[in-house]
Amino acid sequence: MPDDDLKERIRAAVDIVTVIGERIPLKKAGRNFVARCPFHQEKTPSFNVNPERQIYHCFGCGAGGDVFSFLMEHDKVSFPEALRTLAAKAGIALPDRQSARARTNEQARDIYYRANALAREYFIAALNDPARGEAARRYLERRGLTKETIATFGLGFAPDAWDGFMAYARPKGLSYEVLANAGLLVQNEQGRFYDRFRGRVMFPVVNDSGRTVAFGARTLDPAGEPKYLNSSESPVYQKGRILYGLYHARDAIRQENSVLIVEGYMDVLQLMQAGVRNVVATCGTALTREHGAILRRYADRIILLFDGDEAGIRAALRAGDVLLEAGIEGHVALLPGGEDPDTLVAAEGPEALRSIAERGMPYLQFRWETLARQNNLATISGRNRAISDMLDVIARVDDEMLRGMMASQVAQWGVTDETLVQRAIARRRRQTARREQEAAPPQKRWAQPHREKQLVAWMMDRPGVCQQVAEMGVERFSDPLLQEIATSLIRLKDLGELPSAAALLDENREDSRWAGAVAELAQMHCDEREIGRAVTQLVASLQLPYLKRQIDTLRARLRVEKGIRETIEITTEIQRLGREMEILNDLLHSGEN
């Protein structure tokens, strides 16, 4: 495990608002930032990022922590991986050492990387086999891919056999269960394993480190279904967070400050081969908000480059709505009728495609013009339908400023009063929030007595309060989690360290409930002018029920006790505890005056 000084250097060098803002859209709200929580479904933002304390907390589901916690939860990585990511971002070199636990976590993921690397090796060998790979090579040649492109992107071929890859993998030391979890094998109802990919051209999908995590597979059978088959999700592959081609395209995307999103693997390869390198595609899934957030790290301009037919327009509308919800107004560029990216580039050259992309229409305008073709805007009912459709989408945008500007634009296009448009959007947002609140299952939140939480919150960064709680005894807290947190804060104080939220988070990195509780406590309001008296009264208020329980226990013993000596001892102890309660009650009542 890295030493505390190194963790603090990294924590101090990166801004949690910047890191989280690269992954989800944040909106300034007073001194903090808010967003819709990425860890549970919601429409009304309850996710709060505190730049002063460098922590986040969701008031809806209770998730919380620091910048390390966020990366671990959002990016699904281990603490060492989060540490390396943030160290690289901060330009801080890490020492070459790992704990046994960190090595174990990495080895658990590494086995899936090994499985996919082995499959890639097998598929490439099959493609290059003179006999087995002939049909696949002919297909790739017909599609115009060069040997260099095929080699650069690691294209391969899965022979049409039920156990071809299984036989290849059997002596390599990887179990069938691991290969199935990696999405390379399938297990039937009888428990038998077989190859997932058969008779298909293989497109390796790599992560941002260039490691193979999944495959897309195109059938060679004209009647084969499905046409494309994709890897299932695995411990190293979440399809909603990976874009095909991004590893090879990211430098060009940064350089041009724009990215083209196309519809498939082959479009990416053909455009890159033609010199249009700022291009990506999703991996057989719909575009997600996470995809949009990833691309926004690299470029300001995101262009949806789809076919100009009805299917392409519908796809552009779906993708554009998702980007809009993420606070991103993309652009839409439609190819001329009957043209694919490769045919257009082959006929007119890459500059023709770049020209179409540059003339791409802002998505909001594209959406309005599409609705204008579907509705007669010369009629009140047609214009009302178009406006209503636009407002349904705009109401899902969290960024208030962006939402307001879009509402103003729609009011202008629809020739209607902007105030009415704003009211209609606000009404939609209220209705959506109410429906979600009614339909949502109760969140498993950490809800304990407020005064107990307040006292533990005041222990953070305050050794004096920690000492008062230590003298009181942590057993006075009714919640076991609060007892654990208070005990850790007291231990930090006794070690001469600052009992801070950051130190608490470092103590228990793998427990998301611990991180959420610490983040919630760290954000509780504290008036330093009143804290001295308030802490004393809180301690007293927690002592009283504890003393009462002790007295009740002693009285129960007294009812069954027969010995005179024991009776006197119990009675004396009850009287002593009673006097303590009187003193504490006087203290509490004096604070109310």
In whole numbers, what is the pLDDT of the chain averaged over residues?
A: 87
Instruction: Give domain status of residue 95, yes or no.
Output: no
Q: In angstroms, rounded to a whole number, what is the distance separating the alpha carbons of residues 342 and 382?
A: 38
Q: How many CB atoms lie within 10 A of CB 225?
A: 7
Q: In angstroms, rounded to a whole number, what is the distance separating the alpha carbons of residues 545 and 577?
A: 11
Residues 67 and 186 in one domain: no
Q: In angstroms, rounded to a whole number, what is the distance separating the alpha carbons of residues 153 and 269?
A: 8
On the 0-12 / 13-18 / 19+ scale of CB atoms within 10 A, 588 is middle
Q: In angstroms, rounded to a whole number, what is the distance separating the alpha carbons of residues 586 and 593?
A: 11
Q: Residues 444, 62: contact at Cβ < 8 Å?
A: yes
The residue among 339 and 385 whose pLDDT is bigger is 385
170: DSSP letter: G
pLDDT given for residue 73 in this prediction: 85
pLDDT given for residue 120 in this prediction: 98
Q: In angstroms, rounded to a whole number, what is the distance separating the alpha carbons of residues 252 and 413?
A: 36
Instruction: Encode pLDDT of 6-37 as tens digits.
Output: 888 888 889 999 999 888 888 888 888 999 88
φ, ψ (nearest 5 deg) of residue 140: -65, -35
Residues 259 and 207 in one domain: no
Whether the per-residue pLDDT at 593 is higher than 60: the answer is no
Instruction: Give domain status of residue 534, yes or no.
Output: yes
Identify the sign of the CA torsion 293, 298, 301, 304.
negative
Instruction: Encode pLDDT of 97-142 as tens digits.
Output: 544 444 555 566 789 999 999 999 999 999 999 999 999 999 999 9
pLDDT band at 212 (very low <50, low <70, confident <90, very high): very high
Write out the two tokens for 368: 């309005």
φ, ψ (nearest 5 deg) of residue 216: -105, 145
Per DSSP bridges, beta strands 212-219 and 200-206 are antiparallel
Buried b / exposed e over 167-194, threshold 16 CB at 10 Å, is ebbeeeebebebbbbbbbbeeeeeeebb
Q: Pick the last residue of a domain from 387, 408, 439.
A: 439
Instruction: Give domain status of residue 444, yes or no.
Output: no
% of the chain beyond a pLDDT of 90: 46
Q: In angstroms, rounded to a whole number, what is the distance separating the alpha carbons of residues 13 and 574?
A: 56
Residues 41 and 170 in one domain: no
Q: Is 525 helix (H, G, I), strand (E, B) or coil?
A: coil
Q: Residues 48, 57: contact at Cβ < 8 Å?
A: yes
Domain count, the chain: 5
Write out the two tokens for 434: 């109410």
Instruction: Encode pLDDT of 407-416 as tens digits.
Output: 999 999 999 9
Q: Residues 567, 561: contact at Cβ < 8 Å?
A: yes
pLDDT given for residue 547 in this prediction: 80
Residues 77 and 150 in one domain: no
Instruction: Give domain status of residue 96, yes or no.
Output: no
Calculate ∠ Cα 399-405-408, nearest 5°.
135
Q: Is 305 helix (H, G, I), strand (E, B) or coil?
A: strand
Instruction: Give domain status of residue 445, yes or no.
Output: no
Phi-psi region of 378 (alpha: psi -120 to 50; beta: other; left: phi over 0): alpha
Residues spanned by the domain of 417: 375-439
Residues 319 and 363 in one domain: yes
Q: Residues 342, 144: contact at Cβ < 8 Å?
A: yes
pLDDT given for residue 268 in this prediction: 96
Give the long-range contacts of residues 530-536, CB within 8 A, separation 24 or more.
Answer: 531/458, 531/462, 531/465, 533/591, 534/458, 535/455, 535/458, 535/465, 535/468, 536/468, 536/587, 536/591
Residues 395 and 407 in one domain: yes
Q: In angstroms, rounded to a whole number, what is the distance separating the alpha carbons of residues 515 and 509?
A: 7
Q: What is the CATH number of the domain that holds 35?
A: 3.90.580.10
pLDDT band at 445 (very low <50, low <70, confident <90, very high): very low
φ, ψ (nearest 5 deg) of residue 54: 60, 45
234: DSSP letter: B
Residues 522 and 461 in one domain: yes
Whether the per-residue pLDDT at 222 is higher than 80: the answer is yes
Instruction: Give domain status of residue 348, yes or no.
Output: yes
Q: In angstroms, rounded to a whole number, what is the distance separating the alpha carbons of residues 498 and 492?
A: 7
Q: What is the CATH number of the domain that holds 497?
A: 1.10.860.10
Q: What is the CATH number of the domain that holds 216?
A: 3.90.980.10
Q: Cα dist. 289→242, 278, 327, 330 in Å?
A: 12, 20, 9, 12
Whether the per-residue pLDDT at 235 is higher than 50: the answer is yes
pLDDT given for residue 468 in this prediction: 84
- Tokens 């959002």 locate to 74
pLDDT given for residue 107 in this prediction: 66
Q: In angstroms, rounded to a whole number, what is the distance separating the alpha carbons of residues 78 and 113?
A: 15
φ, ψ (nearest 5 deg) of residue 203: -115, 105
pLDDT given for residue 444 in this prediction: 47
Residues 434 and 477 in one domain: no
Q: How many CB atoms lie within 10 A of CB 453?
A: 20
Rg over alpha carbons for the chain, rounded to the nearest Å, is 31
Helix axes 310-325, 380-394, angle to 10 degrees: 50
Q: Pick the last residue of a domain from 222, 237, 252.
A: 237
Closest listed residue to residue 394, CA positions, set 409, 377, 379, 378 = 409
Write out the two tokens for 496: 């001469």
pLDDT given for residue 99 in this prediction: 45
- Tokens 């006929």 locate to 347
Residues 330 and 463 in one domain: no
Instruction: Give domain status of residue 136, yes or no.
Output: yes
Q: Pick the last residue of a domain from 237, 266, 300.
A: 237
Residues 587 and 547 in one domain: yes
Write out the two tokens for 291: 């995809």
- Tokens 């039937």 locate to 188
Whether the per-residue pLDDT at 485 is higher than 50: the answer is yes
Q: Cα dist. 30→16, 36, 49 in Å?
A: 16, 16, 11
Instruction: Give domain status of residue 273, yes or no.
Output: yes
Q: What is the CATH number of the domain that holds 352?
A: 3.40.1360.10
Instruction: Encode pLDDT of 146-176 as tens digits.
Output: 999 999 999 999 999 999 999 999 999 899 9
% of the chain beyond a pLDDT of 70: 92
The set of residues, in sequence order, having a beta carbon less than 8 Å from that of 428 and lying 6+ positions away, is 391, 392, 395
- The one-letter code for the residue type at 271 is L
pLDDT given for residue 440 in this prediction: 54
Q: Residues 401, 429: contact at Cβ < 8 Å?
A: no
Residues 8 and 135 in one domain: no
Residues 192 and 254 in one domain: no
